[in-house]
Amino acid sequence: MFKQIRYKWDAFMNDSALKARVNNIIFDTDTPLGRLFDVTLITFIVLSVIIVIFETAHWLPLWLKPYMHTLEWLFTAFFTIEYLLRLYCSSKPKEYALSFFGIVDCLSTFPAYLAVFFPSMHGLLVMRMFRLMRVFRIFKLFDYMNEGHYLLVSLKEGLHKIIVFFLFVVVLVVSIGTIMFMVEHGKNGDNFNSIPNSIYWATVTMTTVGYGDIAPVTTMGRFLAGVVMLIGYTVLAVPTGIFTVSMVNTDKKRKEIFCPNCGKNIDRDSRFCKHCGYDVEGSKKDAAKKN
Amino acid sequence: MFKQIRYKWDAFMNDSALKARVNNIIFDTDTPLGRLFDVTLITFIVLSVIIVIFETAHWLPLWLKPYMHTLEWLFTAFFTIEYLLRLYCSSKPKEYALSFFGIVDCLSTFPAYLAVFFPSMHGLLVMRMFRLMRVFRIFKLFDYMNEGHYLLVSLKEGLHKIIVFFLFVVVLVVSIGTIMFMVEHGKNGDNFNSIPNSIYWATVTMTTVGYGDIAPVTTMGRFLAGVVMLIGYTVLAVPTGIFTVSMVNTDKKRKEIFCPNCGKNIDRDSRFCKHCGYDVEGSKKDAAKKN
Amino acid sequence: MFKQIRYKWDAFMNDSALKARVNNIIFDTDTPLGRLFDVTLITFIVLSVIIVIFETAHWLPLWLKPYMHTLEWLFTAFFTIEYLLRLYCSSKPKEYALSFFGIVDCLSTFPAYLAVFFPSMHGLLVMRMFRLMRVFRIFKLFDYMNEGHYLLVSLKEGLHKIIVFFLFVVVLVVSIGTIMFMVEHGKNGDNFNSIPNSIYWATVTMTTVGYGDIAPVTTMGRFLAGVVMLIGYTVLAVPTGIFTVSMVNTDKKRKEIFCPNCGKNIDRDSRFCKHCGYDVEGSKKDAAKKN
Amino acid sequence: MFKQIRYKWDAFMNDSALKARVNNIIFDTDTPLGRLFDVTLITFIVLSVIIVIFETAHWLPLWLKPYMHTLEWLFTAFFTIEYLLRLYCSSKPKEYALSFFGIVDCLSTFPAYLAVFFPSMHGLLVMRMFRLMRVFRIFKLFDYMNEGHYLLVSLKEGLHKIIVFFLFVVVLVVSIGTIMFMVEHGKNGDNFNSIPNSIYWATVTMTTVGYGDIAPVTTMGRFLAGVVMLIGYTVLAVPTGIFTVSMVNTDKKRKEIFCPNCGKNIDRDSRFCKHCGYDVEGSKKDAAKKN
């Protein structure tokens, strides 16, 4: 009896024809069925995210809540099945499970179950948002994908600088916070009542966010605050500079082409390599002919 | 009887001489009459916009309101007639109606009538503002037009990146909002009382606007807020970078010159075309001689 | 009798020796006397500005006020005499009077007298600040002067774009303000109580200043506000872009040098003109010899 | 007796073997012992900073304070000994004492003692933060060091411009503050109650911080404020521009290569030096062969 089930299971797990069919529907985005599936998926994701967000809105009519709850569970069920099917039909399950999309799919599905026991984890369902990045894949927005990739590369090039910059900002913010604490402490009701709060104030000011929930009142404090703002502004011009430069560089790299003969970097529009005189255009034509 | 009217109407509609005359006044900006007309138009537009805006100002003396109301209706009448005349005298009415200026003219005139039935639409009259772009045409500020065009081109070049960037920001803001909701919910009177509000807070913070109508109070919340601000600042350095790069590129393109022989793009200071070896300078001199 | 005075006056007005002496002291900054004079001047300017500013500070001990008042009048007297002397001893009085510094000197002296009759004009004395730019001249901070000039040039290059940009922002802000007025009007106590106030709010938000004195409360309003912030942020990345590009260009121009033979732009460090093969370095040496 | 001590002291002070051993532990970061020492040091620094910061947090349980106090004194003792040892074992004590790290070490240790008499100086202990920069040295994050250096160089290049810019901003802020004081004074409860406060407001607005603790209420004031914001924004695009340009330049310099023969700066991709005609590539190949 048990043996039989097990046998069936093995058969199911090895039914490559079925796998292929499922794969077509779930992973493929060219077949009409696959497309239909993907579009439904996107719609479900958007809906489920909206539900998670608005479940907490106090101004929603009460009678709506149960419906939203049911819907959410339906979505969760759907996503679970989808995830299992993805695991099932992909030729290399492990690879998928550890791929970016695999992890996102997992994280955006199972918190729903944990949330039963730990309600506070309920918000994690917003992770589902990230699945929307599928939209790029589906609608063949490769160009956008490239742009995204391009941005990432630029950010990466500037990463080291940004980290150093942040360390610097942290030190600055802590120091300023402490100084302001000494100046304003006790002058101003409950503001600047501790160094951590003053540091919070310094961050709010340096980043030019400026809530105003904490603000200096003494003339000395206000003078210092003014100085901090000006310093802050200049300091915070740095990341923009860093990022712009790294973008310019990435942009250049992207536009560079290389001589197929001497491998040196040449202008996009040059007919002959300016280094070795190799006939670049000619070779292109030959390549074209061959194909 | 009816036939007669209809006949007159046709005559009127086909009176090309009259059309030409009207056209001169309305569309032409070189003839003194045309110029006069345009200047009056601009003044009327400015006045009507000012009226729409200040009609709502509570600190205006009451006795003014009726006058403003009358004036507004006069302007609307004037604009309506103008619009009809434009349709009448333009050789290709459809084309005008669907042109940028045509649509703006339409949208900035007819809401006035709808506003009678739907007062809330009254504000749409501010659309009239857009008509002010005529000012460029009138005062022959082509140079400015170019600059505007230049900005648009730059923005367009960076558009794809900006869109990807926005999608990213939206995901970020939603996630941060949700996390802060979990951290601050209930700690802080009525703030962070729902995820939508927390998302609103996250946007306010990430964009460094920082109203302070919602602000964290717990130490944990404030620490997170600080992190968000720093992240936010760096992330929001991205559009500046994107835009700067695309502007640099547009700027370059604009300064490029092309070989009069092979039409390929060459360096400003090259004596011979690097593509076809054509004597660029020589040809310039010849051209100079001819003039 | 009167004749005599008049004669003396003429004599005084034409005493070029005296003029020269005064000129040395007032305009010259190399002679010890001139230097001394300039330093005193700067000190007086700073002091007088500080007085003007702190005269209004409510937290100053009352007994100080009269002294400040007396001091201010002394400074004014000093500045008046100085101004007259400048007019007297400069070879071309008109030219000085209409020069930048001449106008600043005038505007920073005479409001003091008008302030007797129109107290509200008293604040104009802060104009004296501008006189501090003399500090550059005195301490021979030519390099700084250059930098300042450099910044101005860059700003000028981007001016047209900036103007177009501002017109655009104004239109945007007015439109957004009106829309928010329709959405939030009456929902929110006294906020958004008129379109002008909504426009004010829109400006505060678009520029990421965000006072929070006016803030949306309805979900719709907050959603719109979020959109405005993101738009605003991107839009306001434009001036940075504009300015950066124009600075890059100015920077380039500044570093360019031209071949004395063919007048074409060549690299700073080239020994021979890459266009006409002219011996650039050689010619430099010859020039050096000649001097 | 005293002689004996003195003798011992001299012996100790001249015991170069001991010095070497200590030096290994304290300054060296490659030996296991040295590494262990450095890591402990870092941990202590972090802990002591955290203590200084949170000592003021009102929401900490009271019973914790004494422990924190004791810990802090232990740390101070440890740092004092460390500092003395550094002085002792370094071959050139003076040089170390006056080196950047030397000064930081000193400033981050002795305020603890002064704080006993002047409690207000207690906050200075946050100086210890700066010692964290050691972390770079320890974990051999030379690359990061470089980036940091790179940023500094860029900032330095733009320094002159930034200073001019700041002088300009200060003048602007003072003038605007004064004007707003004239416009808003007395209209608005206790806001704009003195020119210094108005200047503070102007700074808060120009830097787009916008606390909202002071905000205009009159229509005129709000209009002016709007103008100030737009001006402010554009003006504050300047440092970003300055910094970006100087970063671009530093970036270029960094990528330059020089002719091994005449040492002049040449293009990355040039085959022969454009100054002396030296065969750059050839020499490279030779170098490659040798290795």
Inter-residue contact B240 to C236 (CB < 8 Å): no
Q: Per-residue confidence of chain D (291 residues) as pLDDT tens digits?
A: 678 888 888 888 888 888 888 887 777 767 788 778 888 888 888 888 888 888 877 778 888 888 888 888 898 888 889 888 888 888 788 888 888 778 878 877 887 787 777 776 666 666 676 666 666 555 544 555 566 677 777 777 778 778 878 878 888 888 888 888 888 887 766 678 888 888 999 999 988 888 888 888 888 888 999 999 988 877 878 888 888 888 888 777 766 666 666 666 666 555 556 566 566 666 666 665 655
- Which residues of A are less than 8 Å from C219 in CB distance? 57, 59
Q: What does the pLDDT average to over B92-104?
A: 82
> Residue A2 — very low, low, confident or very high, per pLDDT cuts 50/70/90?
confident
Q: Is pLDDT at A104 greater than 70 in this prediction?
A: yes
Model confidence over C231-281: pLDDT tens digits? 887 887 888 888 888 888 877 776 666 666 666 666 655 566 655 656 666
From residue B251, alpha-carbon distances to B245, B263, C246 in Å are 10, 20, 10
Distance from CA of B260 to the nearest CA of A (A): 16
Model confidence over B165-193: pLDDT tens digits? 887 888 888 888 888 888 888 776 667 88
- pLDDT value for B201: 92
- Which residues of C are less than 8 Å from A244 in CB distance? 244
- pLDDT value for A68: 87
Percentage of chain B modeled with pLDDT above 90: 3
Percentage of chain C modeled with pLDDT above 70: 75
Q: Is pLDDT at B15 greater than 60 in this prediction?
A: yes
DSSP-derived secondary structure for chain A = -HHHHHHHHHHHHH-HHHHHHHHHHHH-SSSHHHHHHHHHHHHHHHHHHHHHHHTT-TTS-TTHHHHHHHHHHHHHHHHHHHHHHHHHHSSSHHHHHHSHHHHHHHHTTTHHHHHHH-GGGGGGGGGGGGGGGHHHHHTT-HHHHHHHHHHHHHHHHHHHHHHHHHHHHHHHHHHHHHHHHHHHTTTSTTTT-SHHHHHHHHHHHHTT----SS---SHHHHHHHHHHHHHHHHHTHHHHHHHHHHHHHHHHHHH-EE-TTT--EE-TT-SB-TTT--BHHHHHHHHHHH-
Q: Is pLDDT at A274 greater than 60 in this prediction?
A: no
| Subunits in contact with chain A (3 or more CB pairs closer than 8 Å) | B, C, D
- pLDDT value for A275: 57
CB contact under 8 A, D208 and B211: no
Distance of alpha carbon A184 from alpha carbon A191, whole angstroms: 8
Percentage of chain C modeled with pLDDT above 90: 3
Distance of alpha carbon C250 from alpha carbon C272, whole angstroms: 25
Give helix B32-54 / helix B64-89 axis angle, nearest 10°. 140
Of residues A264 and C77, more confidently modeled: C77
CB contact under 8 A, A208 and C211: no
DSSP-derived secondary structure for B187-209 = TSTTTT-SHHHHHHHHHHHHTT-
**Nearest-CA residue of chain B relative to D208?**
B209
Q: Is pLDDT at C214 greater than 80 in this prediction?
A: yes
**Residue C252: both structure tokens together:** 């380039």
Q: Is A248 on the interface with D (CB under 8 A)?
A: yes
Q: Is B56 on the interface with C (CB under 8 A)?
A: yes
Structure letter (DSSP) for residue D118 = -
Domains D2-140 and D159-258 share a fold: no
Arithmetic mean of pLDDT over chain A? 78
Distance of alpha carbon A241 from alpha carbon A247, whole angstroms: 10
Give helix C142-184 / helix C237-255 axis angle, nearest 10°. 160
Give which of B195, B211, B270, B272 to mutate to test C binding, by max C Cβ within 10 Å.
B211
Inter-residue contact A44 to A75 (CB < 8 Å): yes
- pLDDT value for C27: 74
From residue B129, alpha-carbon distances to A225, B147, B194, C120, C204 in Å are 39, 20, 38, 36, 20
Inter-residue contact C165 to B243 (CB < 8 Å): no
- Architecture of the domain defined by C159-258: Orthogonal Bundle (1.10)
| The 3-state secondary structure of D27-67, one letter per residue | CCCCCHHHHHHHHHHHHHHHHHHHHHHHCCCCCCCCCHHHH
- pLDDT value for D203: 92
Q: Is D59 on the interface with B (CB under 8 A)?
A: yes
Give which of A219, A236, A242, A245 to mutate to test C binding, by max C Cβ within 10 Å.
A219
Distance of alpha carbon D171 from alpha carbon D177, whole angstroms: 10
Inter-residue contact A229 to B208 (CB < 8 Å): no
Distance of alpha carbon B73 from alpha carbon D92, whole angstroms: 89
Q: Is C219 on the interface with A (CB under 8 A)?
A: yes
Q: Model-level pTM?
A: 0.80
Q: Is pLDDT at A122 greater than 80 in this prediction?
A: no
- pLDDT value for D133: 63
- Least confident range from A79-93, B104-118, C8-22: namely B104-118
Give which of A175, A178, A250 to mutate to test D binding, by max D Cβ within 10 Å.
A178
CB contact under 8 A, D175 and C52: no
CB contact under 8 A, A59 and C219: yes
Percentage of chain A modeled with pLDDT above 70: 75
> Residue A137 — very low, low, confident or very high, per pLDDT cuts 50/70/90?
low
Structure letter (DSSP) for residue B260 = T
Model confidence over A196-238: pLDDT tens digits? 888 999 999 998 888 888 888 888 888 999 999 988 888 878 8
Distance of alpha carbon A227 from alpha carbon A223, whole angstroms: 6
CB contact under 8 A, D147 and A168: no
Q: Is B174 on the interface with A (CB under 8 A)?
A: yes
- pLDDT value for C263: 63
> Residue C210 — very low, low, confident or very high, per pLDDT cuts 50/70/90?
confident
- pLDDT value for C126: 67
Phi-psi region of A90 (alpha: psi -120 to 50; beta: other; left: phi over 0): beta
Give which of B68, B243, B251, B270 to mutate to test C binding, by max C Cβ within 10 Å.
B243
**CATH 1.20.120 for domain A2-140:** yes
Q: Which residues pair with C258 in a beta bridge?
A: C265
- Which residues of C are less than 8 Å from A210 in CB distance? 209-210
Report domain extents, chain A: 2-140, 159-258
CB contact under 8 A, B53 and C195: yes
Smallest Cβ distance to A161: which of D130, D151, D271? D151
CB contact under 8 A, A126 and B265: no
Nearest CA among D226, D204, D223 for reference residue D214:
D204
Q: Would you call D272 helix, strand, or coil by DSSP?
A: strand
Query: Computed over its alpha carbons, how large is the radius of gyration of chain A?
Result: 29
Arithmetic mean of pLDDT over chain B? 78
**Nearest-CA residue of chain C relative to A237?**
C240
**Nearest-CA residue of chain D relative to B241?**
D244
**Nearest-CA residue of chain D relative to C52?**
D195
- Which residues of C are less than 8 Å from B211 in CB distance? 210-212, 215
How many inter-chain contacts (C to D, CB under 8 Å) are there?
134
- pLDDT value for B164: 78
Q: Is pLDDT at B278 greater than 70 in this prediction?
A: no
Of residues C57 and B280, more confidently modeled: C57
- pLDDT value for B37: 83
CB contact under 8 A, B211 and D212: yes
- Which residues of B are less than 8 Å from A132 in CB distance? 167, 171
Distance from CA of A36 to the nearest CA of B (A): 23
Q: Is pLDDT at B133 greater than 70 in this prediction?
A: no
CB contact under 8 A, A196 and D53: yes
| Subunits in contact with chain C (3 or more CB pairs closer than 8 Å) | A, B, D
Q: Is pLDDT at C282 greater than 70 in this prediction?
A: no
- pLDDT value for B68: 86
- pLDDT value for A144: 57
CB contact under 8 A, D211 and B212: yes
Q: Which residues contact A284 (CB under 8 A, 6 or more apart)?
A: none
Residues within 8 A of C (CB atoms), B 17-36 only: none
Model confidence over C159-187: pLDDT tens digits? 877 887 887 888 888 888 888 888 888 77
Inter-residue contact B212 to A211 (CB < 8 Å): yes
Structure letter (DSSP) for residue B270 = -
| Subunits in contact with chain D (3 or more CB pairs closer than 8 Å) | A, B, C
